[in-house]
Amino acid sequence: MSQIDLWYASRATGIVALVLLTATIVLGILVAGRAPSARPGFARSELHRRVSSVAVAFVALHVLTAVLDSYAHIGWWATVVPFTSSYHRAWVALGTIGVDLLLAVAISSALRRRIPARAWRALHWLAYLSWPVAISHTLGLGPDTRFSWALVLVGGCSAAIAGAALWRGASTARARAARPRTIQPPRPSLRPTKVASS
């Protein structure tokens, strides 16, 4: 693979990885919020898992092609340790942080049955943090962001996340409002009752 091929491959896999990561986050929000759908809950969860697996694969391809590209000189160490790359240090570091967050989510998901549910849930929340990091990495380092189509794509990804989050918030509010309020029974009187004299 030539240097120019690696350059285009890194750009393409980065864009696809961003779209897939967005789809993963949106599906995660909808699955957690139990969005109404014709599909049963387990099918939505399985779709979420499959899309997230493909997203991780494209992130790995993006990292691989970026490291192999001799122009960037990123280095293998910089793929896991932030701020160790001499090439656009801050923007590459954001990509590294995003990769680290996704690794934590992927590893915890693989070990889900062996770790406490609370710990898994806390680690899974890192996926939501990885998305703005990935967007920042894309806008700061992605050469395609000078084109309008790339900005439209980033805007569409942002709108999808915002829409899913708003739906989740609204559905949670509706569910809380629909809960029947428990009426407290009257407390028994502590005063002794007077016995009527005959």
Is the CB of residue 131 less than 8 Å from the CB of residue 22? yes
pLDDT at site 153: 93
pLDDT at site 33: 57
pLDDT at site 179: 74
One-letter amino acid for residue 173 of the chain? A
pTM of the model: 0.79
pLDDT at site 94: 93
Domain boundaries, the chain: 3-173
pLDDT at site 38: 46
The tens-digit pLDDT sequence of the chain (198 residues) is 777 888 889 889 999 999 999 999 999 888 875 555 545 556 778 888 899 899 999 999 999 999 988 777 888 898 889 999 888 899 999 999 999 999 888 888 888 888 888 888 888 888 889 999 999 999 988 778 888 998 999 999 999 999 999 998 888 788 778 777 665 666 665 555 555 554
